[in-house]
Structure 1
Amino acid sequence: MDNVANLSIAYFLSALLFVQMRCTLSVLLILLREGRRHRRMLMECSSAATAVMLHFAPRTSRYRECWMRVRSKDWWERVVLKEFTDAEWREHFRMSRRSFDKLCGLMEQTLSPQDVTVRAPIPLQMRVAIALFKLSNCAEYRVIANQFGVHKSTVKKFVYSFCKGMVSSVIHSLIQAPAAEEARAIARRFEQKFSIPQIVGCIDSTHIPVLPPRDGYKDFMNRNGWPSYVLQAVVDDTYRFWNINCKMPGCAHDASVLRQSVLFDQAQLLPKEPRELSGVSVNLFILGNQAYPLLDWLMKSYADSPHVTPQQESFNDCLRSARTTMEIAFSRLKSRWKVLIKKSDFHYTFTPSVIATCCALHNFCENEKEMVSPSWTEEAAALEHGLPQPGVRSYSGSDSSDGQKIRLALTDYLQANAPLRKSVF
């Protein structure tokens, strides 16, 4: 009986354990199914929310407070256009109101506002004035923007557009080599002033500050240790440029700049107008300094030597006197446009366009008889002390035989037709 009772109890306990295990397993399966269903629901909700955020939700950008800020154009519209005298126009824009209006006419095709714009377009006169103000003062874009009541990006856009338009369409009418008749007139005036015949222009170079690139920085460093472009120019007796080249970096020698220029490549196209001097046929020529080679169309002085004759010394002195026109032209150019003597914020690839624009504007002012204020010259001279010009490096190559013959003929002509002059340099 005891065995039967024990078996019954064991069976009962086994059954109870089986039922408990089955219930536990069922609960676990239910929990697993619920867990999967919950995770699936979360993933679906997450995917739906992501889709809504990416495709339907608004972008989380900064709220724009206003479409255009209110800026005052009172200084330009009321003070400048209505109250400025010619002296004030020259002080701020380097030319009188009459000349300014004429310049606006030249720039009308390239700088006029578009017909269809979102906002009221800035008029042509204001665009030209902004560019001239920048070139004459080299002020920051922010300062000019506050002065004219526009944004600084607008100032930069107008300055770049003005220079590009000047270089592309206007500069060729303001800077060009003289034709035969004009060349003869230039030579006559040079001879009347300095006794040397057949001079059609003077050539020299000056260094213009530039913001150089990080790569190739050393190429722009001149001998005085500051980065620059070399501006090579030829001027006539009225201080107007008729040829310029401003694409070579500051490390280049003047003779190398000449050989890389259009002037050198097309020298045979210059007016000849030969004239018999001391038995030698002498064409029109350009005066240079010791940095340039002696050619049949480019004259320079005799090299300093104890063996220089009085006649040669007199020739050197007359030549130096004639070349003062070059110094005066560069002085007037930089006095008007101070952007050429300050470290500007233009990109180095755009700086040649700025230089060419200033040269064209210089010619425009000279044509319109616009005077240079002595205060501008004094200020420019003070600024140039901070960036002194490199000295002249003499040309080390050989001179042409034709050039030597012409220089000797000119020396004999001066000896026969002009009193000997002793150099004071």
Structure 2
Amino acid sequence: MGRENTNYRLAVPLRKRVAIALWKLATGSGYRSISHLFGVGISTVFNCVEDFCDAVINVLLPRHIATPDAAKLIEMATFFRNRWRIPQCVGAIDGSHIPIIAPEEYPRDYNRKGWHAIVLQGVVDGKGLFWDVCVGYAGSVHDARVLRQSHLWELLNDGELLGKTKMAISGINVGHYLIGDPAYPMQNWLMKPFSDTGRLSAEQHTYNYRLSSARSVVEMAFGRLKGRWRCLLKRNDCKLELSKTMTLTCCVLHNICEEHGDNFIEEHDRQFNIQPPGQALPEHGELEGADIRAAIMSYFNRREE
């Protein structure tokens, strides 16, 4: 991000360029107000933000948001089991909408209940750190469709990554899996709650409660993400591509803050995480992963007895 002085002007110091970008991400202030605050031109503010985001994605993203290996998956599963008594779970998945200004192309696709947005799909571990993110689908796209079109679907659908280490649960060999809300499709590697038809058994209620308790980790992660980086709370005065880049940058910075024990005030989470649960997908016929869900439900109820 550094710049050299020229015969015509002095370059903005590197630390100041970083500060300008962080201020924009942390406050969501307009370019004009930031230019007045730091005593630089509006175009300089824009360049600082763009350069900083590019640097974070190129240099820091591979270090702080990475697909876990087999040893890391076992570590994450152990954390989930110890904290929420859920076996073999390695992450929680959810989507969140990030406000944007109406894009020039296909603005209706990005319209969500009267405002324009892009979808941020995130998978977090038990500590609330992102280990997979997908940013940029139009706000009108359903969470299940975002998942099916994301690289995560290709990564996990063949069963290779999450199927390496299995555990016998109620007579079924269960690999690692994610948990999601009712908006997601059931898979061998993705568990979701039973649809509440008013006729759920006590065992099914217990299963739903345990999954909901563990899934709260991703909701709280989104809350802390938006609480720290408030540019994600309101429409940014920038084009679509930069909005995507800024969102991805904030996810990286979130992980860095969490890894270094940054003290975020938890009671502020609720006001930032306003994402309602996704609309449940109808359950027709035999679901993929139904035997695994039944085994986990049996495991929960044995533990409750």
Match of 2:115 among 226, 235, 238: 226
Distance in 2, matches of 1:131 and 1:155, equals 7
8 Å Cα contact 1:198-1:283 kept in structure 2: yes
**1:336-351, aligned counterparts within 5 Å?**
336-351=228-243
Distance in 2, matches of 1:391 and 1:122, equals 45
8 Å Cα contact 1:203-1:326 kept in structure 2: yes
| 1:260 equivalent in alignment to 2:187 | no
Match of 1:237 in 2: 126
Question: Per-residue deviation at 1:341?
Answer: 0.6
| Structure 1 range deviating more: 268-277 or 337-346 | 268-277
SS for the counterpart of 2:188 is coil
SS for the counterpart of 1:207 is strand
Equivalent AA in structure 2 for residue 142 of structure 1:
R
| 1:417 equivalent in alignment to 2:264 | no
Equivalent AA in structure 1 for residue 146 of structure 2:
V
Equivalent AA in structure 2 for residue 217 of structure 1:
P
8 Å Cα contact 2:100-2:118 kept in structure 1: yes
Match of 2:178 in 1: 286
| 1:307 equivalent in alignment to 2:196 | no
8 Å Cα contact 1:205-1:233 kept in structure 2: yes
8 Å Cα contact 2:162-2:189 kept in structure 1: no
| 1:318 equivalent in alignment to 2:210 | yes
Distance in 1, matches of 2:262 and 2:284, equals 43
The one-character-per-residue Cα deviations of 1:266-296 (angstroms, maximum 9, x if unpaired) are 1135243111111100000000111001000
Match of 1:193 among 83, 88, 101: 83
Greater relative contact order, per chain length (Cα 8 Å cut-off, separation 6+): 2
Match of 1:209 among 99, 122, 128: 99
Equivalent AA in structure 2 for residue 240 of structure 1:
L
Equivalent AA in structure 2 for residue 140 of structure 1:
G
Distance 1:278 1:397, change over 3 A: closer
Structure with more of its chain in strand, by fraction: 2
What stretches of structure 1 move > 3 A for 4+ residues in a row?
114-118, 388-391, 396-402
Distance in 2, matches of 1:338 and 1:293, equals 31
Q: Kindly name which structure, 1 or 2, has the bigger radius of gyration based on alpha carbons.
A: 1
Question: Per-residue deviation at 1:418?
Answer: 3.0
| 1:248 equivalent in alignment to 2:137 | yes
The one-character-per-residue Cα deviations of 1:87-121 (angstroms, maximum 9, x if unpaired) are xxxxxxxxxxxxxxxxxxxxxxxx12247674222
8 Å Cα contact 1:167-1:357 kept in structure 2: yes
Question: Per-residue deviation at 1:184?
Answer: 0.9
Distance in 1, matches of 2:7 and 2:18, equals 19
Match of 2:38 among 135, 138, 148: 148
Q: Given the two structures, how large is their TM-score scaled by the length of structure 2?
A: 0.93
Equivalent AA in structure 2 for residue 243 of structure 1:
D
SS for the counterpart of 2:10 is coil
Distance in 2, matches of 1:181 and 1:321, equals 25
- RMSD (Å) for aligned C-alpha atoms: 2.0
Q: Given the two structures, how large is their TM-score scaled by the length of structure 1?
A: 0.67
Sequence identity of aligned pairs in percent?
A: 35
Equivalent AA in structure 2 for residue 282 of structure 1:
V
Question: Per-residue deviation at 1:401?
Answer: 4.4
